[in-house]
Structure 1
């Protein structure tokens, strides 16, 4: 019997993996439902209602200006302290009608071209979380229950067993991520048709969205590999989950506060979420408002630092090599007990 097929079946039959996958998919369904019910398609009725709201707002401003102008004139006629009024009460006037735009009062609408790229980030985050937790439990449970020892009696090649498990995990994650991503594209496209707009879509825009979705799947595979490696190192699922909590709560939150107190420039460049976001969006520009770059017009512009997806790829590659390499080294050197 093929070890790879056996591991795939074991992964598919794990109740924790099923429940975790179902939970991640449920979150995506809830997000899609929220997008559907919180947006509307903009048509003549919505524009007419927005024009009425804009006119109503303008009339309120006119009434306010008339009232304040009358109060100003009465206050000055009585000789009261009117420092909070202008020298000439006639200066109190409503804003011009054209300054109150109807667009301000339009309901929320889902513009697929402008918004969908941002919605690929929560998809990647959920897939990454599912991959990390399932990857950690997949190998951690084997160590904790003694299943790894039994498996090595049947197939004594340690590194082959561990890498086959990892291969089965990543294959299963890809089998989940590809249809989930395709369904995400399809559902958001339908929501945009029903509750928004799909105007302006070009082949270049589609290509950009597809590449972003692919980067999200790669990010999930990296998270699954790191979770798998940490659990294998600690020979327990809690090792990976505890490490993740320590990194995110202690390492990221605590480090962020410490860097801010110390006044370190571009403190976000030391935080892992920055690189995950840069990987998905291709570039993040950090700003240091404590620095001033004078322009020819005399303006003060903050110093900037660009974090690109290339920086993120180097960090992720180093992390996978480090943790997976350590797990393979420990598997080869340590006793199986």
Structure 2
């Protein structure tokens, strides 16, 4: 009997795996439904209504500026101190021009597929990565805690082969859920854009960009799943992975973020793991340090910047997977099975 097929069957029959996968898919479906009902398709009537609201806003601004300018002139003529309420020259109190008040400010939310879909791939990857992490940790953690791993090694004593086969079955199962979910995610938001927004200006380049972002999301799910599996195997218990992540996020990330902020460290976000996950999905993140000033030729003060790219994120995640999975394999080979 093939060990790989056996592990796949065991993964599929585990109720925890099925329930967690179902829960993750339900959350994704809830996101799509929520976006559908919170967006509207813009028609000519709504555009005309927005123009009227913009005109009304402009008129209110004109009336307000005229009243304030009159009050300023009266206060100036009476010599009443204004405590900094009015400028020295009352003529500078003017209303914004009509073209500065845009009608789109008064339009309801509408889902533009080309502009907005890329942003939805981040929560998609985050939700499925969390599901994959928990499933991966529990899949191997339950084997250790119940004694199933020891029984399996009695008739299949090749330790590393057994562990890697379990990992391969796990990644196959996660991939079997993630890929159809990604296709449904694309289809769901295409439907949202069709009925509650716009699908205009979609080119082959835009589709290619979305596809590459989706593939990076799938890769992130597999990486996080592998880390959860390796941590649970290293600690020989599901709690090792879950507790380690809680400690990392609460102590290592929130605590470190607060400490770096108090110490006024430049680009403190560069020390936090979520920054690199986001950079992996969006290809590049630009961090800004507003405590520094780079003056340009026009005298403007621009903050210093630091770019974090998906290449840097891939290097960090690759090293993390190699170190954690390597430690799990080393522990599997060196430690006693009891």
Q: Which of the five TM-score ranges fits, normalised by the shorter chain?
A: over 0.9
Q: Distance in 2 between matches of 1:88 and 1:265?
A: 41
Task: Rate the CA distance shift 1:65–1:286 in 2: closer, same or farther, 3 A.
Answer: closer
1:1-337 alignment runs, 5 A limit: 1-72=1-72, 75=75, 80-82=80-82, 84-85=85-86, 92-337=93-338
Residue by residue over 1:198-220, the C-alpha shift from the partner in whole angstroms, topping out at 9 and shown as x without a partner, is: 11111111111001000001001
Residue by residue over 1:208-267, the C-alpha shift from the partner in whole angstroms, topping out at 9 and shown as x without a partner, is: 100100000100100011100000010000000001111111101111111122222221
Q: Distance in 2 between matches of 1:186 and 1:302?
A: 40
Q: Distance in 2 between matches of 1:269 and 1:157?
A: 41
Task: Rate the CA distance shift 1:295–1:88 in 2: closer, same or farther, 3 A.
Answer: closer
TM-score calculated relative to the size of structure 2: 0.94
Q: Distance in 2 between matches of 1:77 and 1:201?
A: 61
Q: Distance in 2 between matches of 1:155 and 1:333?
A: 17
Give secondary structure in 2 for the equivalent of 1:296.
coil
Give secondary structure in 2 for the equivalent of 1:301.
strand
**Between 292-301 and 48-57, the greater mean CA deviation after superposition:** 292-301
**Between 102-111 and 65-74, the greater mean CA deviation after superposition:** 65-74
Give secondary structure in 2 for the equivalent of 1:62.
helix
- Aligned residue-pair number: 337
Q: Distance in 2 between matches of 1:209 and 1:246?
A: 34
Taking only aligned residues, the RMSD between alpha carbons, in angstroms, comes to 1.8
Q: Distance in 2 between matches of 1:183 and 1:75?
A: 65
Residue by residue over 1:111-167, the C-alpha shift from the partner in whole angstroms, topping out at 9 and shown as x without a partner, is: 111111111000110111011110000000010011111111121211111111000
Q: Distance in 1 between matches of 2:328 and 2:20?
A: 24
**Between 57-66 and 256-265, the greater mean CA deviation after superposition:** 57-66
Unpaired segments of 5 or more residues in structure 1? Answer: none
Task: Rate the CA distance shift 1:164–1:97 in 2: closer, same or farther, 3 A.
Answer: same
Q: Distance in 2 between matches of 1:186 and 1:304?
A: 37
TM-score calculated relative to the size of structure 1: 0.94
